[in-house]
Amino acid sequence: MRTVKGKTDRVVVVGGGLSGLSAALYLAGRGRNVTVVEREEHPGGRVGRADVSGYRLDMGPTVLTMPDIIDDAMAAVGEKLTDRLELLPVHPAYNAVFAGGDTLKVHTDPTAMYAEVERFSSRKEADAYLQMRQWLTALYDTEFDGFIGANFDSPLSLLTPQLGRLLAMGGFRRWESVIRKFLSDERLLRVFTFQALYAGVPPQSALAVYAVIAYMDTVAGVYFPRGGMRALPDAMAAAAASAGVEFVYGATVSGIERSGSRATAVLTDGGQRIPADAVVLTTELPETYRLLDHAPRRLLKLRPAPSAVVAHVGVPAVDSSVGHHTILFGEAWKQTFTDIITDGRVMGDPSLLVTRPTAGDPSLAPPGRDLLYVLAPTPNTEVGTVNWDDATSSAYVEHMLGAVRERLPHVGDDMEVLSVVTPADWGRQGMLAGTPFALAHTFAQTGPFRPANTVRGVDNVVLAGSSTVPGVGVPTAVMSGRLAADRITGVPVRQANREVVGR
């Protein structure tokens, strides 16, 4: 593995999101003097936040899986995640609601899920679920260290024993076709393949290696930090600060000072010059290339993932029948991918993720109220034909909320729209093609074919975040920070073996 040569005592991390915080923790734990420069007045990056009318909104991801990966980063400075925040397991991980009215509780406990699948479908499907669960567990166990958690210097880096095992397991076949080997109920198939939306590729064409996302939330489990998702970067930043990391908030990086092929300092729009022996950039890809005055040399054009519209809604308090995470599947499930990826239009029959964070922490809403986060996948602004800055936005949000009212009748009609974020808004935040999901996980953008975390022609700048390895998501963003730190310090001896859930 290539590493930064020369002195690396002082490292500047640009961006205080999860990847930047992870990099800062690992680097501080390995003896580097670290400064994090963040343009907002608080940590978090894409784990955004807003306070509206007594509600505390999570403006970024709402599903937290694999907290042990975050705990690894905290352990780099001798801390535990649970010493900094309270993590609540979410049971069930999801409620799935289908267009015909059928409902399924997605349990991570195998016995509970077996019984639920048997109730919902048949004993044959329940037996198949256990077999599929074993396959998902073996997939995760096989690919974690050698594929997800590895730096690649070239495609030849893939030629490892793990690659052979992944090939034998069907990891480079299509996600949906592999799951069909186990499950025949189309509704269950959706539950274990919808996660392909996170990867930005239809399950019919997504690589089966990304079924590891289904392992993360349907086997390893889903969690919620009390205080909302914002509590996660707050905890990581507090641990980093205790370990000596310096934070510069409210400062936008305007340039990278260089001497030859090395970065020597980070410059801010406030006139600050922060000397650096190495730099970790977690900025959005267009901004990264601007700061480095670098245009990547790729045979294929980068393909952004689909985007999303997110509506934050206040409602009168609901009962426990509305779970923490609910997936509302539309009838036209396969058409969804054609709509948003191929045709560039909104879903005619929306499938939605509805999160009720107040199920885990009622203090996130005023007394007697609940908070809902409603996400609809949409085309990104590169392929989309929608003008999100005209009346289309409010009309589509009403269409989304109409589907929520119809499929979750306990929510009722009294909805107070607190905030709406559209692809146009993501674009104004600097996100490529107006998508918070960065680059789609096509084969040409997977592993060593994804934009690398090293930059040709710049010897001591390393990248982290969703657009580089290993990819999109909370666990992978945290891992990208560790991979960036490894590029600077080399890989230390691992201290512990990872526990794999589900065996």
Which of 87, 97, 116, 111 is CA-nearest to residue 321?
Answer: 97
How far apart are alpha carbons 342 and 201 in whole angstroms? 11
Q: How confident is the model at residue 162 (pLDDT cuts 50, 70, 90)?
A: confident
Q: What does DSSP say about strands 458-463 and 278-281: parallel, antiparallel, or unpaired?
A: parallel
Per-residue pLDDT for 192 more than 60? yes
How far apart are alpha carbons 427 and 436 in whole angstroms? 9
Per-residue pLDDT for 169 more than 70? yes
Q: How confident is the model at residue 15 (pLDDT cuts 50, 70, 90)?
A: very high
The pLDDT tens digits for 329-376 are 999 988 998 999 999 999 989 999 999 999 999 999 999 999 999 999
Q: Is residue 462 classed as helix, strand or coil in its secondary structure?
A: strand
How far apart are alpha carbons 353 and 106 in whole angstroms? 14
Say what the pLDDT of residue 334 is.
84
User: Residue 118 contacts by C-beta under 8 Å, 6 or more apart in sequence?
Assistant: 125, 126
How far apart are alpha carbons 58 and 299 in whole angstroms? 38
How long, in residues, is the chain?
503
Which of 94, 112, 89, 114 is CA-nearest to residue 104?
Answer: 94
CA dihedral of 74, 46, 444, 303, whole degrees rounded to 10: -170
Per-residue pLDDT for 40 more than 90? yes
Say what the pLDDT of residue 132 is.
98
Going 488 to 492 to 496 to 500, the CA torsion angle's sign is positive
Q: What is the CA angle 123-214-336, rounded to 5?
A: 95
DSSP state of 192: T
Going 88 to 93 to 99 to 102, the CA torsion angle's sign is negative
Q: How confident is the model at residue 493 (pLDDT cuts 50, 70, 90)?
A: confident
Say what the pLDDT of residue 501 is.
73
The pLDDT tens digits for 260-316 are 999 999 999 999 999 999 999 999 989 999 999 987 777 578 999 999 999 999 999
How many angstroms from the chain centroid is the CA of residue 445?
16
Phi, psi (rounded to 5 degrees) for 92: -70, 165
Q: What is the CA radius of gyration of the chain?
A: 22
How far apart are alpha carbons 140 and 156 in whole angstroms? 22
How far apart are alpha carbons 20 and 42 in whole angstroms? 13
Q: What is the mean pLDDT of residues 415-429?
A: 97
Beta strands in 212-261 (DSSP E): 222-225, 246-249, 253-259
Say what the pLDDT of residue 337 is.
87
The token duo for 318 is 């609901």
**Cα–Cα distance list, 496 to 353, 499, 500 (Å):** 35, 9, 12
DSSP state of 488: H
Q: How confident is the model at residue 171 (pLDDT cuts 50, 70, 90)?
A: very high
How far apart are alpha carbons 91 and 229 in whole angstroms? 17
User: Residue 27 contacts by C-beta under 8 Å, 6 or more apart in sequence?
Assistant: 11, 13, 34, 280, 485, 488, 489
How far apart are alpha carbons 307 and 384 in whole angstroms? 10
How many angstroms from the chain centroid is the CA of residue 210?
13
Which of 422, 339, 421, 428 is CA-nearest to residue 383?
Answer: 339
Which of 497, 502, 503 is CA-nearest to residue 68?
Answer: 497
The token duo for 290 is 């601007």
Query: What is the layout of strands, in order, in the sheet containing 262-268?
Result: 253-259, 262-268, 273-275
Q: Which amino acid is at 240?
A: A
What percent of the chain has pLDDT above 90? 83
- Range with top average pLDDT, 436-445, 451-460, 476-485: 476-485
Say what the pLDDT of residue 148 is.
85
Say what the pLDDT of residue 497 is.
46
Q: Which DSSP string corresponds to 59-105?
A: -S---EE-HHHHHHHHHTTT--HHHHS-EEE-SSSEEEE-TTS-EEE
The pLDDT tens digits for 243-257 are 999 999 999 999 999
Q: Which amino acid is at 324?
A: H
**Mean pLDDT taken over the chain:** 94
How far apart are alpha carbons 495 and 212 in whole angstroms? 24
